[in-house]
Amino acid sequence: MIPDTETMLRLCTVLDLPASEILEKEYHSNKKTTLDNEIAMLIEEIGMEKALFLLRSFKEASEADVLKMLNVFKN
């Protein structure tokens, strides 16, 4: 939860930190949680075995090979 502007300014004054630094940390922590939840849902949908196979395949492939694989999936 992000406090209102007045509260944020008071906190920044007391902590001697810029508001952007505090808000950036909050943004990134929320983003990570969302990403983790999305990954978990996708793994659940396609199954762990398929997810591991895909991730291992992409990990070992070059960027050009990954792009080729993605084009195959699209078509």
Report the half-sphere exposure of 70 (CA within 13 A, side-chain side).
9
Report the half-sphere exposure of 53 (CA within 13 A, side-chain side).
5
CA distance 50 to 20: 40
Give the model's pLDDT for residue 45: 94
Q: What distances in angstroms separate CA 61 from CA 35, 41, 56, one per listed residue?
A: 23, 24, 9
pTM for this model (two decimals): 0.47
CA distance 66 to 52: 15
Give residue 59's pLDDT band: very low, low, confident or very high (50, 70, 90): confident
Instruction: Note whether 27 and 35 are within 8 A (CB).
Output: no
Give the model's pLDDT for residue 19: 76
